[in-house]
């Protein structure tokens, strides 16, 4: 029983031809007779020597003709696929290199910023110019106030005016109250209402 692994067995291709048998028959026959006589066997020069003839396999006889166009098309497709794969790989590698270089650049910029001194908050207008402008505006306000006509307040005339306004308001209020009482009395007489139920009948109802 043959226990040789299949992977170690030598398989013959269907197109592989057996080596040609270029053997001298006379030489082989003489050698065979010499060996037979040495072992005490009768020699028979008529022993035929049969050699295996070349036989073509079925696959070789029925193998299709070589199609160069089909082979060229397959080779072209394989080449195009390899080119596409190579281009994709180049694009990925280029993008990866750009990403790494950008990260390195950003990290270097951050490191440089760490060792730089902090920037002070400075106004666009220097302080001395702002102080000069403030003094100029203050001087303009002082000049306008000095040139404008200024009269002191007359407290006597103001007091007299407010006293007159108060007296006029009291007189107007008393007259309105008397008119209101008269209207209510007329309404009570028309409706037969007693005088004690009329508001403003007594002098205490008037607010002077």
Q: What is the pLDDT of residues 146-192, one digit of tens each?
A: 776 666 677 888 899 999 999 999 999 999 999 999 988 888 888 77
Q: How confident is the model at residue 128 (pLDDT cuts 50, 70, 90)?
A: confident
Q: Does 93 score more than 70 pLDDT?
A: yes
pLDDT in tens, 20-73: 555 667 777 778 777 777 766 555 555 555 555 555 555 555 555 666 777 788
pLDDT for 172: 93
Distance CA 184, CA 171 (A): 20
If residue 197 lies in a helix (H) or strand (E), which one and from where to where? none
178, 185, 187, 183: which is closest to 205 by C-alpha?
178
Rounded (10°) CA dihedral 188, 190, 194, 195: 50
- Measured CA angle at 198 (ends 195, 203), to 5 deg: 90
Q: How confident is the model at residue 1 (pLDDT cuts 50, 70, 90)?
A: very low
Instruction: Please list the alpha-helical segments (H only) found in 49-125.
Output: 58-61, 68-114
């Amino acid at each position: 029983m043959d226990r040789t692994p299949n992977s170690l067995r030598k398989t013959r291709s269907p197109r592989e031809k057996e080596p040609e048998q270029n053997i001298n028959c006379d030489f082989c026959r003489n050698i065979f007779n010499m060996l037979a006589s040495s072992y005490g066997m009768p020699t028979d020069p008529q022993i035929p020597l049969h050699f295996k003839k070349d036989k073509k396999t079925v696959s070789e006889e029925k193998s299709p003709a070589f199609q160069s166009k089909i082979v060229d098309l397959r080779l072209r497709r394989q080449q195009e696929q390899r080119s596409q794969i190579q281009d994709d790989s180049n694009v990925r590698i280029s993008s990866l290199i750009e990403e790494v270089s950008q990260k390195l650049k950003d990290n270097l910029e951050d490191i440089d910023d760490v060792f730089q001194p902090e920037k002070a908050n400075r106004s666009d207008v220097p302080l001395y110019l702002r102080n000069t402008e403030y003094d100029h505006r203050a001087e303009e306000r002082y000049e306008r106030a000095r040139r404008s006509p200024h009269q002191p307040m007359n407290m006597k005339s103001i007091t007299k005016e407010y006293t007159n306004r108060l007296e006029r308001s009291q007189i107007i209020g008393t007259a309105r109250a008397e008119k209101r009482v008269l209207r209510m009395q007329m309404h009570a007489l028309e409706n037969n209402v007693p005088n004690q139920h009329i508001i403003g009948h007594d002098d205490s109802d008037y607010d002077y």
